[in-house]
Chains A and B, each alone.
Chain A
Amino acid sequence: MTMRWFYYAAPQTFYGLAGRMWPWLAAIALLLTAAGLWLGFGLAPTDAQQGEGYRIIFVHVPASWMSMVIYLAMAFWSVLGLTFNTRLSGMMTRALAPTGAMFAFLSLWTGALWGKPMWGAWWVWDARLTSELILFFLYLGYIALTSAIDDVRRADRAGALIAIVGAINVPIIYFSVKWWNTLHQGASVSLTRSASMAQLMLWGMLLMALAFWAYTLAMVCYRVRTLIIERERHTDWVQALPDVTGALA
């Protein structure tokens, strides 16, 4: 089993694999998004207290989930990269970061859209929203650091370290923000805990979460391929690629 993983960890092999996978993943993402949105915005019943505005949770909650899962994935690849010194780990982490940042931003933005009709304010210092904001900063930090360092290897390894340090801190940050919020009796943007959250709502969020998953995997595959070509451009196999021959110096 481990041998298979190391085989796929070689950039050349992964390039081929990712190339075959990403169109399928994109298609799945599209289908699931359509299904999820139809369920969320079409089928799910109107909430007793929040009216129609609550429907934004079908995007907000899955986006929050994804932003956290992606950060964990980045930490995972970072640990792998620092331990085994594989080139692919750095590329995977770098490929994940922009999508993670996007989901964090999406979560914040939809949180604001949700909050406005609820609280009359575009931003409330809700514990989860504030933690999400800090997670967004952590993403920006990683992207800024890896962009600022010219040497690719050093950038990958430095980024891996900050991703790991950030990941360790995320639960601490969440806990401290929650504490801060309850102490100051802040507002809370959350779903009404009605007697039984409609099954439909749960299905809707799950579908959207899966859709976002598929989208992330598709984007990561696509981005990693670009990174592979860029970084391995001196190797024979890249020079021999049909779309590449002659295009690279």
Chain B
Amino acid sequence: MSQLQVIALSCERGGRPLFAPQSFTLDAGQAMHIEGDNGVGKTSLLRMVCGLAPSASGEVRWGGEVTADHRAAFLRDVLYLGHSLGLKDELSALENLHTASVLAGQPVSRAQTLEALHTQGLASRAHLPLRVLSQGQKRRVALARLQLSKARLWVLDEPFVALDTLAVHALQQVLQNHLQQDGLLLFTSHQAVDLGRSVQPWRLGA
């Protein structure tokens, strides 16, 4: 059963601890919203959960197994989106999504990719380089990527930033679908988010 356990995870920056050891559990179908002021370490926490940053102490468990010891299995189940979208401007939306899915270990067919882009209203622009798309359209390509992902755990750092109302609704829809399919969601955001179910808030910092 999918379950994320964070046990006494702490972080050090410049020789001193950034925040006190954090422990929490996230089960299938649950979402957790990490809140806190700027600079308190929200991004660091998310990156430590994914294993991108080393933790000063503690461990992360996925499905009961320590992620540090079973990296590949954990990485197969997790999707992380940070501040940059990880998209290439010179490639088309189709090429970007195809590469991303192969590298994530979950190759998707061309038909599925086109369908996801269609849902995001980008079917007509699927073959154009991302360079010519607007910022909002690029974010929708990232949304399509979320849609196509079969990862159980989604770790999203500020996914709602700089989105207009329509895009916020679209993202909320994608996240809701994910949770309905027993996915897990860990995210940060400065604004209130409506995911159609209770979201566990987690306050970081004093």
A and B touch in the complex (CB under 8 A): yes
Mark A residues whose CB is within 8 Å of B. 152, 231-234
What are the residues of chain A within 8 A of B14 when measuring CB–CB?
Answer: 152
What are the residues of chain B within 8 A of A152 when measuring CB–CB?
Answer: 14-15
Chain B 26-41 interface residues, beta-carbon cutoff 8 Å to A: none
In the complex, whether B16 has a CB less than 8 A from a CB of chain A is yes
Task: Report the separation of the CA atoms of residues A176 and B15 in the bound assembly, to the nearest whole angstrom.
Answer: 43
Task: Report the separation of the CA atoms of residues A231 and B15 in the bound assembly, to the nearest whole angstrom.
Answer: 7
Main secondary structure of the interface of A (DSSP, over half): loop
> Min CB distance, B116 to chain A, in Å?
37
Task: Report the separation of the CA atoms of residues A81 and B51 in the bound assembly, to the nearest whole angstrom.
Answer: 20
Give the bracket for the number of chain B residues in contact with chain A: under 10
Task: Report the separation of the CA atoms of residues A231 and B16 in the bound assembly, to the nearest whole angstrom.
Answer: 10
> Min CB distance, B29 to chain A, in Å?
37
Task: Report the separation of the CA atoms of residues A213 and B77 in the bound assembly, to the nearest whole angstrom.
Answer: 54
What are the residues of chain B within 8 A of A233 when measuring CB–CB?
Answer: 15
Task: Report the separation of the CA atoms of residues A168 and B24 in the bound assembly, to the nearest whole angstrom.
Answer: 44
> Min CB distance, A10 to chain B, in Å?
14
> Min CB distance, B136 to chain A, in Å?
34
What are the residues of chain B within 8 A of A232 when measuring CB–CB?
Answer: 15
Task: Report the separation of the CA atoms of residues A152 and B15 in the bound assembly, to the nearest whole angstrom.
Answer: 9
What are the residues of chain A within 8 A of B16 when measuring CB–CB?
Answer: 234
> Min CB distance, B51 to chain A, in Å?
15
Task: Report the separation of the CA atoms of residues A207 and B62 in the bound assembly, to the nearest whole angstrom.
Answer: 60
Task: Report the separation of the CA atoms of residues A231 and B14 in the bound assembly, to the nearest whole angstrom.
Answer: 8
Task: Report the separation of the CA atoms of residues A234 and B17 in the bound assembly, to the nearest whole angstrom.
Answer: 10
Task: Report the separation of the CA atoms of residues A59 and B15 in the bound assembly, to the nearest whole angstrom.
Answer: 41
Determine the residue in chain B with the shortest Cβ distance to A230. B15
Chain B 1-38 interface residues, beta-carbon cutoff 8 Å to A: 14-16
Task: Report the separation of the CA atoms of residues A197 and B16 in the bound assembly, to the nearest whole angstrom.
Answer: 58
Task: Report the separation of the CA atoms of residues A233 and B14 in the bound assembly, to the nearest whole angstrom.
Answer: 10
Determine the residue in chain A with the shortest Cβ distance to B15. A234
> Min CB distance, B48 to chain A, in Å?
14
> Min CB distance, A173 to chain B, in Å?
33
A–B pairs, 7, beta carbons within 8 Å: A152-B14, A152-B15, A231-B15, A232-B15, A233-B15, A234-B15, A234-B16
The 7 A-B residue pairs whose C-beta atoms are closest, nearest first, are A234-B16, A234-B15, A231-B15, A232-B15, A233-B15, A152-B15, A152-B14
What are the residues of chain A within 8 A of B15 when measuring CB–CB?
Answer: 152, 231-234
Determine the residue in chain A with the shortest Cβ distance to B17. A234
> Min CB distance, B19 to chain A, in Å?
15
Task: Report the separation of the CA atoms of residues A156 and B14 in the bound assembly, to the nearest whole angstrom.
Answer: 13
Determine the residue in chain B with the shortest Cβ distance to A235. B15
Chain B 96-108 against A: per-residue CB contact (8 Å), 1 yes, 0 no? 0000000000000
Determine the residue in chain A with the shortest Cβ distance to B12. A153
> Min CB distance, B162 to chain A, in Å?
28
What are the residues of chain B within 8 A of A234 when measuring CB–CB?
Answer: 15-16
Task: Report the separation of the CA atoms of residues A232 and B16 in the bound assembly, to the nearest whole angstrom.
Answer: 9
Task: Report the separation of the CA atoms of residues A46 and B15 in the bound assembly, to the nearest whole angstrom.
Answer: 57
Determine the residue in chain A with the shortest Cβ distance to B16. A234
> Min CB distance, A244 to chain B, in Å?
15
Task: Report the separation of the CA atoms of residues A105 and B93 in the bound assembly, to the nearest whole angstrom.
Answer: 55
Task: Report the separation of the CA atoms of residues A232 and B15 in the bound assembly, to the nearest whole angstrom.
Answer: 7
Chain B 142-160 interface residues, beta-carbon cutoff 8 Å to A: none
> Min CB distance, A240 to chain B, in Å?
17
Task: Report the separation of the CA atoms of residues A231 and B12 in the bound assembly, to the nearest whole angstrom.
Answer: 13
> Min CB distance, B55 to chain A, in Å?
12
